[in-house]
């Protein structure tokens, strides 16, 4: 039994496995097992028992999310499953590895998931810049159609499933699941009001599940090897493995599949080879650009949803961004807030108008022309643009690094004021 269900077949020094090669190493055994030996309800039960939590950033238990999808007796209306492959969180580079390294794993994960949900149509919503990944996925899908893993009456049963790749055209907000659905319908990617939740009324008003690539890639091995196997992969109570990454001034930046709960110290010092000569770790974002900063004293905390949550931050995507002692700290913060400001969909006022003001205040402070009013505005923004005051989680996400920066490094702001 593998201890790396996501990356066991990934070797970037060769092309990814085609269908025959993937089957030779046990590929599609998970799909075969769930379709020929299990009812959808049994599949969902294993998924719930496994404790798998969404790997896109929110960490919501996948089995619980899926249990809200209505199950019909025939004739059933269309249901959809969507892979969120719109990897755009700053500092995140894990789904690219999965799709470029083993496209068949995602296709199999979607087949397993679609069977459990009894979905008939699936889309892989992939960002426009991931040209190679989109091409590899299209090739994998074509192979599966030919082989009968996709199409009518799969493996002789009465369930049919078709899968398509949708390539997007930019905009971070497409990663928000309801905005993604609007985008998939060919509209501007503004988020939708919830409820109704997509599980009940999603794409074109039909039941729809949207999950991150890494989440879906876990499914084949979970149905094949069981919930207990999946739980024992982890060092903590949050089950499974996790794709962790480190970028910034470290010796060997990269992305690795490790047991859930591996500490940031182990990631940075062991896997990423430590800080580059002459650089010290000042602070780090544990899981992408919207996750609140953590300090060197937090390096030994297990990197899982529960423990990082208790520190007031979020595991997010699990890709650590290291900020060293020589980076212009305010400049780095401005870079992040510029991103969020630019990527606001413009639908709600606090986000559309507030984020550019945050960027402007940071710009003033960075240039030495800031005032007490700029700093006061930044402090005010951390609640005005936060949860409850905005339509979706975009602006609150942007406040994550800002709020923690004001809390941990007030002097960085004060000493730049004239």
Residues in contact with another protein by CB under 8 A are 78, 87-93, 95-96, 123, 127-131, 164, 166-172, 183-189, 204, 245-249, 253-255, 289, 319, 321, 323-324, 327, 331-332, 335-336, 338-339, 342-343, 345
Least distance in angstroms from the C-beta of 96 to another protein:
5
Least distance in angstroms from the C-beta of 245 to another protein:
7
Is the Cβ of residue 185 or residue 300 nearer to another protein in the bound state? 185
Least distance in angstroms from the C-beta of 29 to another protein:
28
Whether the CB-CB separation of 63 and 52 falls below 8 Å is answered with yes
Is the Cβ of residue 64 or residue 276 nearer to another protein in the bound state? 276
Least distance in angstroms from the C-beta of 76 to another protein:
16
Is the Cβ of residue 128 or residue 350 nearer to another protein in the bound state? 128
What span, in angstroms and rounded, lies between the C-alpha atoms of 274 and 373? 39
What span, in angstroms and rounded, lies between the C-alpha atoms of 94 and 397? 20
Is the Cβ of residue 44 or residue 133 nearer to another protein in the bound state? 133
Alpha-carbon dihedral angle through residues 381, 383, 388, 392, given to the nearest 10 degrees = 40
Q: Coil, strand or helix: which one is 195?
A: coil
Least distance in angstroms from the C-beta of 336 to another protein:
6
Is the Cβ of residue 1 or residue 131 nearer to another protein in the bound state? 131
Question: Distance of alpha carbon 109 from its chain centroid, rounded?
Answer: 15
Is the Cβ of residue 78 or residue 280 nearer to another protein in the bound state? 78
- The total number of residues written for the chain in this structure: 418
Least distance in angstroms from the C-beta of 285 to another protein:
8
Neighbour-count burial of 346, counting CB atoms closer than 10 A to its CB (0-12 exposed, 13-18 middle, 19+ buried): exposed
Angle at 143 between CA 142 and CA 144, to 5 degrees: 90
């Amino acid at each position: 039994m593998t201890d790396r269900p996501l990356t066991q077949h990934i070797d970037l020094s060769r092309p990814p496995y085609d269908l025959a090669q993937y089957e030779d190493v046990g590929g599609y055994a998970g799909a075969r097992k769930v379709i020929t030996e299990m009812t959808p309800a049994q599949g969902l039960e294993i998924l719930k028992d496994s404790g798998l939590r969404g790997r896109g950033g929110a960490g919501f238990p996948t089995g619980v999310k899926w249990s809200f999808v209505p199950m019909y007796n025939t004739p059933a209306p269309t249901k959809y499953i969507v892979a969120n492959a719109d990897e755009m969180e700053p500092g995140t580079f894990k789904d690219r590895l999965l799709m470029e390294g083993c496209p068949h794993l995602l296709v199999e994960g979607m087949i397993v998931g679609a069977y459990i949900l009894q979905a008939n149509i699936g889309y892989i919503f992939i960002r426009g810049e991931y040209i190679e990944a989109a091409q590899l996925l299209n090739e994998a899908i074509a192979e599966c159609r030919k082989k009968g893993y996709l199409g009518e009456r799969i493996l002789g049963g009465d369930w049919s499933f078709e899968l398509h790749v949708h390539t997007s055209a930019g905009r971070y907000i497409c990663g928000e699941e309801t905005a993604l659905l609007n985008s998939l319908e060919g509209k501007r990617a503004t988020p939708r009001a919830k409820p109704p939740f997509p599980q009940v009324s999603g794409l074109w008003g039909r039941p729809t599940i949207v999950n991150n690539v890494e989440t879906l890639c876990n499914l084949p091995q979970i149905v094949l090897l069981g919930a207990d196997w999946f739980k024992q992969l982890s060092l903590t109570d949050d089950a499974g493995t996790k794709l962790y990454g480190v970028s910034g001034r470290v010796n060997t930046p990269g992305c690795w599949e490790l047991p859930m709960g591996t500490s940031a110290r182990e990631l940075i010092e062991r896997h990423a080879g430590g800080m580059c000569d002459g650089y010290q770790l000042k602070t780090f974002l544990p899981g992408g650009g919207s996750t609140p900063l953590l300090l060197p004293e937090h390096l030994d905390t297990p990197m899982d949803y529960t423990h990082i949550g208790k520190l007031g931050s979020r595991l997010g995507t699990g890709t650590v961004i290291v900020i060293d002692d020589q980076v212009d700290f305010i400049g780095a913060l401005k870079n992040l807030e510029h991103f969020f400001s630019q990527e606001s969909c413009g639908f709600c006022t606090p986000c559309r108008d507030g984020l550019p003001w945050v960027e402007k205040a940071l710009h003033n402070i960075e240039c030495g022309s800031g005032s007490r009013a700029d700093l006061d505005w930044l402090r005010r923004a951390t609640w005005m643009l936060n949860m409850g005051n905005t339509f979706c989680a975009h602006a609150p996400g942007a406040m994550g690094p800002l709020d923690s920066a004001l809390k941990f490094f007030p002097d960085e702001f004060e000493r730049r004021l004239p």
